[in-house]
Structure 1
């Protein structure tokens, strides 16, 4: 829809878009970062295990070039000799490869983190299309990678020539050394130059990592219409959500109206407010509870149901407003309204007893019930 409308992708990707891309295996990766990590770790690893590896190889040469005549003609002597040779090299090589392996794992997961995507492993028909493959080969991404490779080769070659030129005298001086010293010197020279060449990849990494992050974000950018569609799909259409809220409100009102017949009294403001109160006298320490309340049309409906089920309706505007604003549905009234509500309930209980012929007619309820200022609305 966004592409057909001609909208530009100018908006940053949402969290949902980033999450979906990650599930598909589309995360920022820098090949240069992984390559630099492996090469640097290899150079440093050789420096760390170089002495032990050189000593192991010297022992290997010494053992295998000093073989007595009996061992040469013994068919069973070859396998123990091979085993001893491999065991002598195993621990230095194991340390070297362990360093390189850890660096490879860390270097390739620094940007984008560790991500396992089953969707990325699924076969896709568009990848088998020759036309799309042709477009990928000559697309902008391939052009950028080609320019990066050319620039990297030129940069590394220039640095290598500069290093060789700087070490030219030291290289010539090796010819004057004896064989063991010349070998040690040449190895040290090669390792130092290799380390410097590997470190030359760091500026390339410093350029490539921000570029990959920027390119990844650019590819996931969205149009305004895509953001709106995603919001609708995630949160629901406004009209649907409004209808759901109305249905939920209607269901809550029906449940509330079903509690009105169980109330002991309905306190009303004759025009706007109605609150239905119930008091469980058999429950020790219980306080009057609001079982229904409402404004305007709902208030009228509460009064109609109360009259239908002969629930006393008492007009007390100040108390009705105070209870409505201070007490939630199915909650006990606050302590500050106990006295006022107790007077109303006492009047209702006396009125019910008088109607049954038990006791005298109660004194009419006072209009100015004791309501604290903080509850007056």
Structure 2
């Protein structure tokens, strides 16, 4: 007998026809209960597992697997997103294979190829900052694809985005309404779609109040909380009177700088995070429903699996400004 038991091995062990074993492992229920029990006992005894990768290449069969490529699993944003997708998929009887591109296009491309080799039924992707291979050049067949958080020019895919511009604009407007004249922007590289859109919203809010953009207080190289902390420490000495933190890591970095220097500026961050409510004052944020974004992506993938021919769509999910007090200047004693 081989190291990996086959259906033929199960059929011999249970003393039933191979076709009966095939029907059993594929979920058919109209099997004689006595035979079904013998098959179940044989499967348990032999340690047989169905080869889904092989099964998926047969017409009408499915791997019951989705692929998920995110940017960085260590970022709480993406772990929340992944959890929502995995939960929805599990309810449909599907397994999710996840990988992090680390914003590297070549790494992203390798994962895409591997997932397609695995014959996954659908792929959900957060496109990397560094451009990867043009999806339009991929040889078919290509399973249903959903791009999430960042758009890609690929007509076969659906796209789910948050209202990054509107959220950033509302946050910056709130800081200005509370008296800020010099609002700093602290975020990651503007080559990232979400950063670029949040920067646009920030600029629109300044323009609406007749305030010119000061490039000297725009930070677009805060790739980590430590980078953001160093940048905010410098901004505290640059006559800045408020901060718009363009992602959760920038918010955490700002809090680190406030703690280390013993000084605080009014601040609103984009994306909520677990520690946001622990400080005094708690951190005000532009909140997007990350779990809903993940759930929506999974829902669309399953719609595509069932109805691949329907038109592709772009969804823009709303954001909410959650004010907790950090946007207000400290009272002058």
Q: Which one has a larger percent helix, Structure 1 or Structure 2?
A: 1
Larger-gyration structure (1/2): 1
Q: Which one has a larger percent strand, Structure 1 or Structure 2?
A: 2
TM-score of the superposed pair, with normalisation by structure 1:
0.24
